[in-house]
Structure 1
Amino acid sequence: MSLPEDCFDYEACLAACAKGERRALHDLYTQESARLLGVARRISRSDALAEDIVHDAFIKIWTRAGSFDSERGSARGWIFSVTRHLALNFMRDNANTLQVSEQSENALLAEAALVSATQADTFEYSARSGRIFGCLEQLEPARRNCILHAYVDGYSHSEIAQKVGAPLGTVKAWIRRSLVALRECMG
């Protein structure tokens, strides 16, 4: 439950984040995540994108908390500025990204399955032992590559979408559905 803004010490929270105190990040998240989500949602006009933006904003707040300068403004203002800039940058960088409805997404998935069947698999497996490799092999190459880019290479959903040339919503759906399939296979 968040406190009234005048009762929460944003500056001390950022200083604690700069020292690596995870509890401070948790407190900051509890205090401001809902409002930051609102800011990101107004800019992106998408719940899913807003959630990604707020996630990225908290990572940036955590890693850059030491750069906050109280001489230049309030700690709360800095937090909102980080989020707002990330949202605006994301929207600018992805201005040409296709917005996909659920029906369009299903059509794209079907088309991508056909295309992926003809594309070469971009990942080589040096060790083919173990259940996980068998489960990964059961995934379509495009979906398998998205999973591996996310969990092996550490790419964000946006980076994966650019790398594979697919809309962001499609990549998110592939990853979500592939994780379900992997859980069932490993079960």
Structure 2
Amino acid sequence: MTQATSDASQLHHWLAAIAKQDGRAFQALYDATSAKLFGFALRILNKRELAEEVLQESYVNIWNNAANYQSSLAAPMTWMVTIVRHRAIDQLRRIDHDVEIDGEDFDMGLLHTLESKEPTPTRHLELSQDARALSSCMSRLENTHRQAMALAFFHDLSHSEVAQQLSLPIGTVKTWIRRGLGKLRLCLNSREAS
């Protein structure tokens, strides 16, 4: 069993206990995930106080909806990230009604934040030169292709799980991922050549 599988299993166990109103499980879940989720919210909002507010709202949502979590639809961290992302986007829209989400400025650093084992949100957000190049190339992909690839490669979902999550045929998802990988390869190769 890998560390990621072990972590996901523990998160799933805590969510099941939280669904039964177990406060200790909620505290353990919070301790294990809050730094990553805060880093994710901070990366979207760029203001500490807004990220803290979104994090608090997100954990209230997690507490209230743990019984609705379905492991067949998403990994525990993916489910929680989705809650934080929706809350952060709502916060952005309250501030600026014209804000566009998932536009050209898509940043792979958000997903890297979730995978990192570093202790502080600031460390999570530091991108290497390679990560910036990948982020730049990812931002050039169509939103749908980018979303399918992110679910597959950064949330470790199978093609069929991605298809289910996006409510699309599996053939479409496979095509999008294959085309996205091809475009990424071309983009990264052209950056290396220049």
TM-score, normalised relative to structure 2: 0.46
Work out which structure has the larger RCO, using CA pairs closer than 8 Å and 6 or more positions apart in sequence.
2
- TM-score w.r.t. the length of structure 1 is 0.47
Give the structure with higher Rg (CA): 1
